[in-house]
């Protein structure tokens, strides 16, 4: 993988996700529970926001020559979340694809528009940092894989759930 190939792939995945969100439309529908269990699209976006912020911050650390080590103990995991406000998604102590309900709870009183704005900023920070990194830095830090894990793989998971939900509410209304 190289940067020239990766950016368009990431952007295509992003475009597909944004088109789906645009199909959902109204902010009222974004907060309806039941998209995934008791979660709403807003909750799914909060999860994606925290994963993207995690990745953007790790990339900023790389740009500044700082090192990151996944939390190896539960106390380190708690300290990480207290420091950054989101889980250490790359810690072996966390289930890789599981949603952290603390993240959705933390965003409970934040409006959909604010979450969307923050999520767009986090995604923009990933792109900006990625463009500044050299190809060797991307390889040294396994960024092609890591960025995918924290951006378009969560988009795909959320998209499956949103599409399933749209289909179910469409079927119910017929």
- Give average pLDDT by consecutive 10-residue segment, the chain, 174 residues: 93 95 80 91 96 98 96 96 95 83 87 94 98 96 97 96 90 68
d(CA 2, CA 139): 9
Domain ranges within the chain, ordered by starting residue: 3-60+98-173
The model's pTM is: 0.93
Fold classification of 3-60+98-173 is 1.20.120
The pLDDT of residue 129 is 98
pLDDT on residue 170: 79
- The pair of structure tokens assigned to 173 is 């209304």
Instruction: Specify the pLDDT at position 174.
Output: 60
**How deeply is 95 buried, as exposed, middle or buried, from its count of CB atoms within 10 A (0-12, 13-18, 19+)?**
exposed
């Amino acid at each position: 993988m190289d940067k020239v190939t990766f950016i368009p792939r990431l952007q295509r995945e992003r475009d597909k996700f944004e088109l789906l969100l645009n199909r959902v439309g109204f902010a009222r529908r974004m907060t309806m529970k039941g998209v995934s269990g008791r979660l709403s699209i807003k909750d799914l976006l909060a999860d994606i926001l925290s994963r993207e912020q995690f990745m953007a911050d790790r990339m900023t650390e790389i740009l500044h020559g700082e090192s990151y080590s996944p939390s190896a103990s539960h106390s380190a995991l708690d300290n990480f979340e207290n420091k950054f406000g989101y889980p250490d998604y790359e810690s072996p102590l966390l289930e890789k694809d599981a949603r952290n309900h603390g993240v959705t709870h933390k965003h409970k009183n934040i409006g959909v528009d604010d979450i969307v704005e923050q999520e767009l900023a986090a995604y923009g920070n990933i792109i900006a940092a990625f463009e500044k990194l050299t190809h060797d830095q991307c390889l040294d830090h396994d960024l092609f894989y890591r960025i995918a894990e924290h951006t378009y793989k969560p988009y795909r998971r959320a998209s499956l759930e949103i599409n399933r939900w749209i289909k179910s509410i469409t079927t119910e209304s017929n």
